[in-house]
């Protein structure tokens, strides 16, 4: 077993320079001299068929809802608050218990001894069942159990909850008002994050131009198709839950804590899962199922949400209000950025603190800004709790910094591309946190996207008089992994089983993104066996090791490395066996195409199956474990600076071309180019799939997706009014994969997950601005909002009024 702690060596860097020193234009490291020039011989880099493809296409894969029909004894349903903010006076269960088939109704009082009754991924501040207050319309108040699904629904509707209304805190302004009711003991500011780098005020004062804007981003739902569903049972010793999630081991820990069980008494087995996007990082039905299972030993309990319950219960993407000021010299060189962000935490914090930190550390993206001043505040309201979602604070900030580049270019009368080119970081430059980026390929991505954009002959259709065409661009960077010193590790086991097949064990969750192929292809590559010989066993806390969450764009880098480390250990065993068998030093042998072959003597050949058999006879373990646990360094509390806040950075650039109907405000995306530097595409088709899906989601965020909250009431908890993009709204996404090997990634791979969404939204907004001559500041840019940009006097809620209370660049840190 090899521990790869700090397995990555960051190249030696010159002494830290002061923030005002001239910016380097020559790369510190030439991106072309990278470690994996020799291409892999096996499946790495090939679009191997998906391991889970056939069963998903045939419909034989079992999702949470499939288990439900097959195996349930009892059914459970949650009684949810109809109030956004209220004290619970009384929960009357008498009527519910009279419904034939209803077995029991449980409230917070029924939690087992030792149970914390709390959930929340980072801050565990959310009661699983409300104790005395409800803080959003959707908070869980009680659980009903019945023998049939019909009875449980009737029972749920028969529970009477008496409330005493409390004033509803509907938005930032309500929350920050002086007489606002306190939603949590410490008040309505959940927390904050700041960055202090150089002297932003002084630099602004000396700037030739200053541009300010306030951006308002919306609340977004994950809208995965596979609605929360699953089963659980307690056999007296072990609570087994089959519930879709994104991080089986953390779900086990959180479920155990909430229910007061030892961690060993909970086993999470993740079924086939259809999408997550961060929406499964917080617990969903795990603790409810667990509680009911504990009360009914031996019985299989089933639960499933409707789409409406899924939307009303689940956390959302943080809506943000971003006050952004930049200063620049006449030639476009950025001098300073001053940024204040308010983030709607909703009722509970969950991952809020991490989202705030990510927003701060990504607040100037891939731009060279020597002086930066950032305050980010999380503000509690009576809206849905917020938490993880693809982009995680970074996507809102990308809307802002890309939007500022367009505004600055307009103010300076400069070409947008030239302005970007002047200010993008080069290899060896620092991002906002002061972390130096050894291989920065922002410009390379931008140029590749532009090349693709210009390469196609212009076959744009002629426009009607009320139509305007425009194009826009985004360039983003993204730190992968949890970063900021947060413990982050992946573990994997690779072994040959009794049948001679190669098995890979990972705790990571496959929810459609392609984790199984990534892990399988790397193991097969390392051991030289055909990909068809590999099985991947995943996300079962009883059989696999903790591999961290399938989120933060981290699994290819982290689990990919863990698998590679384990596989290379196992490879040494196999080579050792071969060496003994052939009488040569193992170094003289190589493994590929299912054989051990002599490097210098082609006549030396033994099939790997034979070596495995031989190894078993010779008592080799034929199994190895890999741990990948690189360290990051916490950002300094006062300055937000860290030499290594993230393990590595990803770069991307998107270009959108739109046609806007300037009379109706309708926007049509005509062309879309997504260019990403992924280090190395382990499976190019999966990578392109992530790019297309992410870009689609980003187009949705730019143009239509929005959870509409009205005084704590969700107006659109359904897909009739929560508008997701359809095929008609998304053109062919032209994908451009750039590969600059990452020195620490498996085969040079970095990752892909989140950046496609992050880069897409600002590209579309930029294109709209280019078409109509007014830069958007509020998302989504649905027809009405575009029309309001052109007719601000007609706006439903005037833009300025919406920004009335929350101070611009405030200082609220105590």
Partner 1 sequence: MFFQPRHVDEALEIRGRMGSDVTPLGGGTDIVVTINKTSMRPKHFLDLTHLPDYTHVVRDNGNWVLSAGATFSQLGKLPMKALAAAAMTVGGAAIRNTGTIAGNLGTASPAGDGCVALMAIDAEVELTHATRGRRTIPIHEYFTGFRRTALLADELITGVRLRTDWRTAWYKIGKRGSINISLVCAAFGMSPEGGVRMAYGCVAPIVMRTRLAEEIIEKDGLTDAAIEAAAQSVMKEVAPIDDHRASANYRRAMCGVLARRLLRELRIKNTG
| Residue ranges that bind partner 1, judged by CB under 8 A | 466, 663-666, 668, 703-704, 708, 710, 715-716, 718, 720-721, 723-729, 782-784, 787-788, 791, 794-796
Q: Residue 270 and residue 630: Cα distance in Å, rounded?
A: 26
- Strands 623-628, 2-3: pairing is parallel
The helix/strand/coil state of 126 is strand
Strand partners, 386: 316
In the complex, what is the shortest distance from the CB of residue 726 to partner 1, in angstroms, rounded to a whole number? 4
Taking the complex as a whole, the smallest distance from the CB of residue 466 to partner 1 amounts, in Å, to 7
C-beta of residue 515 within 8 angstroms of C-beta of residue 553: no
Tokens representing 778 are 């509020």
Distance of CA 274 to the CA centre of its chain: 15
* Smaller CB separation from partner 1, 201 or 309: 309
Is the CB of residue 171 less than 8 Å from the CB of residue 321? Answer: no
Which helix (H) or strand (E) segment holds residue 57: the answer is helix 53-58
Which H or E run includes 267? strand 266-269
Compute the least distance from the CB of residue 322 to partner 1, in Å: 24
How many residues would you count in the chain? 814
Residue with Cβ nearer partner 1 (700 or 751): 700
In the complex, the smallest distance separating the C-beta of residue 798 from partner 1, rounded to whole angstroms, is: 11
Distance CA 779, CA 455 (A): 31
CA pair distance 568, 523, nearest whole angstrom: 8
Residue whose CB is less far from partner 1, 340 or 779: 779
Only one residue has tokens 């950046």, namely 755
CA distance 50 to 373: 46
Shortest Cβ 626–partner 1 spacing (Å):
45
Find the shortest distance in angstroms from Cβ 668 to partner 1: 8
Give CA–CA dist 636/484, Å, rounded.
Answer: 9
Q: Which residue lies nearer to partner 1 by CB, 565 or 701? A: 701
Nearest residue to 107 (alpha-carbon basis) of 86, 84, 127 = 127
- What's the angle, vertex CA 131, arms to CA 130 and CA 132, rounded to 5? 105
| Buried residues in 518-538 as b, exposed as e (16+ CB within 10 A) | bbbbbbbbbbbbebebbebbb
Q: Of 308 and 623, which CB lies nearer to partner 1 in the complex structure?
A: 308
Which residue, 278 or 725, has its beta carbon nearer to partner 1?
725
Instruction: Kindly tell me which of 334 and 709 has the beta carbon lying closer to partner 1.
Output: 709
Name which of 454 and 466 has its Cβ closer to partner 1. 466
Nearer to partner 1, 351 or 782 (CB): 782
Residue identified by tokens 């929005």 is 706
Q: How far is the CB of 521 from partner 1 (least distance, A)?
A: 36
CB 279 to partner 1: min, Å: 21
- 308 vs 614 by CB, closer to partner 1: 308
Residue 728 CA to residue 666 CA, distance in Å, equals: 13
Distances (CA, A) of 53 to 57, 291, 767: 6, 35, 36
CB of 383 to partner 1, least distance (A): 15
CB of 702 to partner 1, least distance (A): 12
């Amino acid at each position: 077993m090899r521990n790869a702690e700090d397995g990555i060596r960051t190249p030696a860097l010159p002494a830290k320079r002061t923030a005002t020193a001239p910016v380097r234009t020559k790369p510190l490291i030439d991106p072309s001299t990278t470690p994996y020039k020799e291409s892999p011989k096996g499946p790495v880099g090939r679009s191997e068929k998906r391991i889970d493809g056939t069963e998903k296409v045939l419909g034989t894969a079992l999702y949470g809802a499939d288990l439900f029909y097959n195996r349930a004894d009892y059914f459970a349903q949650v009684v949810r608050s109809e109030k956004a903010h209220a004290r619970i006076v009384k929960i009357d269960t008498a009527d519910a218990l009279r419904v034939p088939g209803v077995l029991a109704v449980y409230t917070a009082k029924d939690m087992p001894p030792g149970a914390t009754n709390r959930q929340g991924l980072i801050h565990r501040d959310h009661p699983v069942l409300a104790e005395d207050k409800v803080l959003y319309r959707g908070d869980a108040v009680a659980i009903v159990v019945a023998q049939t699904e019909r009875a449980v629904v009737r029972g749920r509707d028969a529970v009477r909850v008496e409330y005493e209304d409390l004033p509803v805190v509907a938005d930032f302004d309500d929350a920050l008002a002086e007489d606002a009711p306190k939603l949590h003991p410490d008040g309505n500011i959940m927390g904050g994050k700041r960055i202090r780098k150089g002297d932003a005020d002084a630099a602004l004062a000396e700037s030739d131009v200053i541009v300010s804007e306030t951006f308002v981003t919306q609340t977004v739902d994950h809208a995965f198709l596979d609605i929360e569903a699953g089963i659980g049972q307690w056999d007296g010793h072990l609570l087994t839950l089959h519930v879709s999630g994104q991080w089986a081991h953390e779900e086990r820990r959180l479920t155990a804590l909430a229910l007061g069980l030892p961690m060993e008494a909970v086993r999470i087995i993740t079924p086939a899962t259809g999408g997550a996007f961060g929406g499964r990082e917080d617990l969903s039905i795990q603790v409810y199922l667990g509680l009911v299972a504990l009360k009914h030993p031996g019985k299989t309990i089933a639960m499933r949400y409707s789409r409406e319950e899924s939307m009303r219960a689940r956390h959302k993407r943080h809506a943000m209000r971003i006050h952004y000021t930049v200063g620049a010299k006449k030639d476009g060189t950025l001098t300073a950025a001053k940024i204040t962000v308010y983030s709607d935490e909703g009722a509970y914090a969950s991952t809020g603190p991490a989202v705030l930190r990510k927003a701060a550390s990504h607040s100037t993206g891939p731009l060279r800004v020597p002086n930066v001043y950032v305050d980010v505040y999380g503000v509690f309201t009576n809206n849905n709790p917020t938490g993880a979602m693809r982009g995680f604070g970074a996507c809102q900030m990308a809307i802002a910094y890309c939007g500022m580049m367009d505004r600055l270019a307009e103010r300076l009368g400069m070409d947008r591309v030239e302005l970007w080119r002047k200010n993008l970081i080069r290899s060896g430059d620092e991002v906002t946190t002061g972390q130096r980026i050894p291989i920065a390929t922002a410009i390379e991505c931008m140029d590749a996207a532009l090349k693709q954009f210009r390469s196609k002959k212009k076959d744009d259709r002629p426009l009607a008089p009320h139509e305007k065409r425009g194009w826009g661009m985004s360039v983003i960077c993204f730190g992968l992994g949890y970063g900021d010193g947060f413990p982050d590790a992946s573990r994997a086991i690779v072994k040959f089983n009794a049948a001679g097949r190669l098995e890979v064990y990972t705790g990571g969750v496959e929810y459609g993104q392609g984790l199984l192929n990534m892990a399988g292809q790397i193991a097969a590559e390392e051991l030289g066996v055909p990909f068809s010989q590999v099985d991947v066993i995943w996300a079962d806390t009883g059989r696999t090791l903790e591999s961290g969450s399938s989120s933060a764009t981290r699994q290819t880098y982290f689990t990919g490395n863990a698998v590679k480390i384990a596989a290379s250990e196992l490879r040494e065993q196999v080579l050792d066996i071969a060496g003994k068998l052939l009488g040569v030093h193992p170094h003289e042998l190589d493994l590929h195409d299912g054989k051990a072959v002599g490097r210098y003597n082609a006549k030396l050949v033994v099939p790997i199956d034979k070596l495995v058999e031989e190894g078993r006879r010779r008592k080799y373990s034929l199994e190895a474990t890999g741990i990948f646990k690189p360290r990051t360094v916490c950002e300094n509390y006062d300055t937000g600076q860290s030499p290594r806040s993230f393990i590595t950075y990803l770069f991307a650039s998107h270009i959108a071309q739109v046609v806007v109907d300037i009379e109706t405000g309708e926007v049509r995306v005509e062309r879309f180019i997504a260019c990403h530097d992924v280090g190395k595409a382990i499976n190019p088709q999966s990578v392109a799939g992530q790019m297309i899906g992410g870009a689609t989601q980003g187009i949705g965020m730019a143009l239509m997706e929005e959870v509409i909250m009205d005084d704590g009431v969700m107006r659109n908890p359904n897909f009739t009014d929560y508008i997701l993009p359809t095929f008609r709204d998304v053109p062919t996404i032209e994908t451009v994969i750039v590969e600059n090997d990452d020195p620490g990634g498996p085969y040079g791979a970095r990752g892909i997950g989140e950046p496609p969404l992050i880069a897409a939204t600002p590209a579309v907004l930029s294109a709209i601005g280019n078409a109509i001559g007014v830069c958007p500041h509020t998302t989504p840019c649905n027809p009405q909002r575009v029309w309001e940009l052109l007719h601000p006097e007609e706006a439903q809620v005037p833009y300025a009024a919406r920004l009335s209370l929350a101070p611009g660049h405030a200082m609220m840190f105590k």
